[in-house]
Structure 1
Amino acid sequence: MSTNTDISKLDDLIHTVIDSIKGFENSAEDVPDGRFASFFRDMARERREVVQTLQAQSRALGGTPTDQGSVAGTLHRRWEDLRSALGGGSDKAVIEEVERGEDYLKEEFERAMNDTNISEETRAVIRSCYDSVRRGHDTARDLKRQFEGAM
């Protein structure tokens, strides 16, 4: 186990969670009738706490944690902005995108928790953050199912 491996894994997760924050903020603005805006803002706030926890662990290990999302996340948000501008921004479409992003984030955290190359200390921090990720994922999944059931 290497401190550099831990820092690298933490930075990967930080990028992804920052993408999640920005996605929730975009979704709060894009949802057509605003009925999910409060949920999206709450999730963005909760994810900021996750980023702070991951950044603190990186600093404790001697890292200089990022405060930027990924290029892929930025490109995805621009695509969503374009789709919304072209009339594809229904509540259902926004919820589907949020749920898709939550699937990805949850998988990233699960991969990190199963990485045998990171220390138990870092794994414990990641696991504590995973609770928030799982709650957000499950809520987004349930919202998506509500839309599917309404069809």
Structure 2
Amino acid sequence: MTNNASVDILNDILETLIDSKHGYEKAAEIADRDALKNFFSRRAASRSAMSAAVRNAIIDLGGKPEDDGTILGSAHRVFMGISAAVQDNDEAAIEAVDKGEEHLRKKFEKALDDEDLTASAQTLLRNYQGELRADGRLIDYLEDATS
């Protein structure tokens, strides 16, 4: 367990959380129903709070937090806009968010399996893992309801 390894792992998570926040913001933008817009906006705020906590953990470990998401995340948001143009906006938003959430959950699992992650970083990620699972179940429900 080294601080440098934990910083790298947490920065990878941070980039994906930033992508998730932007993805939820894009979903709120393209969704038609106000209830979905509100749901996506609340999730974006949650991802912003998670990002802040991870950013602080990186600083506490002596690292420099990433400022941006990934190129893949940017491409995914462009795809969301294109999908919304050719299918139901609500359905496109939910499908895109579902894919992003699955990716984020896998990143968390991979990070938590890494033996180089410090105990404090593991605790932080485990604290958010339950919320991610609950969000995934809600999104699956929304996906089933709109199909």
- Give distance in 2, aligned partners of 1:14 and 1:65: 8
Provide the aligned length of Structure 1 versus Structure 2: 147
- Give distance in 1, aligned partners of 2:92 and 2:19: 18
Please give the secondary structure, in 2, of the residue aligned with 1:74: helix
**Hey, what does 2:11 align to over in structure 1?**
11
TM-score, structure 2 normalization = 0.93
Query: Is the Cα–Cα contact under 8 Å of residues 80 and 92 in structure 2 kept in the other structure?
Result: no
The C-alpha deviation readout for 1:125-149, integer Å capped at 9, x for no partner, is 111122322222121112112234x
- Give distance in 2, aligned partners of 1:104 and 1:122: 19
- Give distance in 1, aligned partners of 2:140 and 2:83: 21
**Aligned residue type for 1:99:** D
Query: Is the Cα–Cα contact under 8 Å of residues 53 and 129 in structure 1 kept in the other structure?
Result: no
Query: Is the Cα–Cα contact under 8 Å of residues 101 and 132 in structure 2 kept in the other structure?
Result: yes
**Hey, what does 1:102 align to over in structure 2?**
101
RMSD: 1.4
More displaced stretch, 54-63 vs 89-98 = 89-98
The C-alpha deviation readout for 1:97-121, integer Å capped at 9, x for no partner, is 1111111111111111111121111
1:119 aligns with 2:122: no
Please give the secondary structure, in 1, of the residue aligned with 2:18: helix
**Hey, what does 2:27 align to over in structure 1?**
27
**Aligned residue type for 1:51:** S
Taking every aligned residue pair, what percent have the same amino acid on both sides?
Answer: 28
Task: Compute the displacement of 1:89 (Å).
Answer: 4.2
Q: Structure 2: give runs of 5+ residues left out of the alignment.
A: none
- Give distance in 2, aligned partners of 1:66 and 1:77: 19
The C-alpha deviation readout for 1:6-35, integer Å capped at 9, x for no partner, is 000000000001000000000001013333
**Aligned residue type for 2:77:** R
Structure 2 counterparts to residues 65-144 of structure 1, below 5 A: 65-85=65-85, 87-144=86-143
**Hey, what does 2:41 align to over in structure 1?**
41
TM-score, structure 1 normalization = 0.90
Please give the secondary structure, in 1, of the residue aligned with 2:35: coil
